[in-house]
Chain A
């Protein structure tokens, strides 16, 4: 079992919802990202999803786009993100998922990327623009290295695609909570709840929902539907508004803790 699976099954046994926090690696800098991971763990976050910046993040909304562009301008590369993981892994056992786009991974070499990730202490991988149809080699490498490869589903996914993703996704299934890119737009709560119900009839793999959760109230409602929630843009926004604050890490930690509490109660 990976750290992700251990954590999510343990929470399920205890009847508790999971809180997964997204951070763009290198935003505002790698040292702060490292400190944020430890801070968020202390505030009750269960899993960290670490975004690898990409020049053309076509599935992300403006908030995460800007953070990626910032990180790239500061010279963040996939290798430096993996070094960060290696470093932070010495301090914590929190489950770490890398989230990115395919091209930097392809360029790195799929086998090498998965090997180095696993060795650095990564537990899972989400590659936004690789559906199961194109994921053959990644899946084989991930299995060889005992890494979870996590796929997404949306309320527009057909029965056929839901089956496919349930078969392919390991660690958890990532359901996007509205038809859209991260960080805005109205929710389609009922469509989502119905998606989660369908998924549950097909697999015991935990279901986490994300995209567009920004307030404690959102967090509470969304977490009822699934095994847990993923929060991204709201956290990046919080970082963005404190980039010059002397206690950025603490401020972001406080904000996230409010969301965590709403999720857990």
Chain B
């Protein structure tokens, strides 16, 4: 299959994607699409400028690290970690926010807004806005603000205004609703830095492209160190930006792509964030994809220990990769993710974000069954400093959630 043929001009990946937005947003999406297409072609200008920032400011390329003790612990399959946790601000989110805020600046926008779940995207947006000297407002669910206090302070420290969202379930999906409301009201002056491969076209494509630097570097690095491509790429999936960024440059290669969703308390409990495993087709936040919804088409509350995976939808390209069979999607529970969080910390001296710990947890399940000469790459999408407080309270009070 030729994956470069999707999406079409209106952003459809097969039956997924598209632009399902209020009329007010349509002109802004067109303006963004045109500006982005131009920036994409502008190798000597935009692309070169962005690569410079990614190198000198964000610290790219990030290392591809052979986790020897984890490899040994899990039976010998060679496990590499793509160290996005070492990128500036502590996660892969900076790849996208530097790209989008630079684009906003070129478009003459004077104000930046963003949603955030775990706070990583909010921090990365606040950072990019500070870097380019633009005012920034971040919407964050009240529940998430409580879970991720450190990130709230990091955003404020960088001059961003953090607005608590209390509507609906007071988590990521409601923060997106609120950011769209702001955007609709201030559409002429404001650019909305959406943090994942979700939303209306061109966001899923644009965010994927900005994050593809992860996969491009990984490919080069693994060929240098191993002289061949890995058998498996594994990444966690909430909205799906870190996984899409890793997978995309490998779509045409003979590499197995595995996305790991939030199994929460277990799929049978209904308390999870596994929209690919358990979702049905629907439209949320501007695109058609797989959603966790009820019979009446109302979006249901999700659950994950990892705020960044606590989202009832998923990027349309993931839905397409699932449907075409190009990628497969698995789930791990909160408990398994927490065990992986501790395991990686102990064995490698790397504290992963709880989101990324989901990918590690899945590798923990399958690596022992694989041959020793097999190569796997885990996208370690973020560092776990933000989660330490939450993890500590659960580890010391295991009867809590």
Report A's interface with B, CB cutoff 8 A: 54-59, 61-62, 65, 69, 72, 77-79, 102-108, 128-131, 133-134, 151-154, 156-158, 161, 165, 176, 179-181, 185
Contacts and interface: CB of A to CB of B under 8 A. Distances in A.
A158 B27 contact: yes
B167 A107 contact: no
Interface string B170-210: 00011011001100111110000000000000000000000
Given A58-B180, A72-B298, A129 B187 contact: no
4 smallest beta-carbon distances between A and B, as pairs: A107-B297, A104-B297, A180-B185, A77-B296
A93 B20 CA distance: 32
Contacts of A156: 24, 27-28, 187-188
Nearest to A178: B185
B293 interface: yes
A103 B282 contact: yes
A61 B184 CA distance: 11
Given A104-B298, A108-B297, A129-B283, A56 B22 contact: no
B293 A161 contact: no
Contacts of B147: none
B197 to A, nearest CB: 19
30 contacts: A54-B297, A54-B298, A55-B298, A55-B299, A57-B177, A59-B181, A59-B184, A61-B181, A72-B298, A77-B295, A78-B296, A79-B296, A103-B284, A103-B299, A104-B298, A105-B297, A106-B297, A107-B282, A107-B295, A131-B23, A133-B19, A134-B18, A152-B24, A154-B24, A157-B27, A158-B27, A158-B30, A161-B26, A161-B27, A180-B24
Contacts of B188: 156, 179
A180 to B, nearest CB: 4
Given A131-B19, A154-B24, A56 B297 contact: no
Contact of B26 (A57, A128, A131): A131
A153 B168 contact: no
A78 B181 contact: no
Interface string B8-32: 0010000000111111101110100
A103 B293 contact: yes
B282 A106 contact: yes
Interface residues of B, number: 41
A33 to B, nearest CB: 17
Contacts of A128: 22
Contacts of B24: 59, 152, 154, 156, 176, 179-180
A73 to B, nearest CB: 11
B177 A179 contact: no
Contacts of B168: 55-56, 69
Given A58-B22, A134-B18, A181-B181, 10 more contacts: A56-B177, A57-B177, A58-B180, A131-B23, A158-B27, A158-B30, A161-B27, A180-B24, A181-B185, A185-B185
Interface in B268-297: 280-286, 288, 291, 293, 295-297
Given A107-B295, A108-B297, A134-B18, A179 B187 contact: yes
B300 to A, nearest CB: 8
B295 A154 contact: no
A128 B180 CA distance: 13
A56 B184 contact: no
Q: Which of B23, B188, B282, B284 has the most CB of A within 10 A?
A: B23
A152 B28 CA distance: 15
A56 B292 CA distance: 13
B17 to A, nearest CB: 10
Contacts of B26: 131, 157, 161
Nearest to B298: A55
A129 B20 contact: yes
Interface in B319-340: none
Interface in B362-398: none
Contacts of B20: 102, 129-131, 134
A154 B23 contact: yes
A55 B176 CA distance: 13
Contact of A106 (B167, B283, B300): B283
A78 B297 contact: yes
A77 B294 CA distance: 10
Nearest to B22: A59
Q: Which of A108, A134, A176 has the most CB of B within 10 A?
A: A134
A133 B27 CA distance: 13
Interface string B129-172: 00000000000000000000000000000000000000110000
Contacts of A106: 281-283, 288, 297
Interface string B219-232: 00000000000000
Contact of A179 (B18, B176, B185, B300): B185
A56 to B, nearest CB: 5
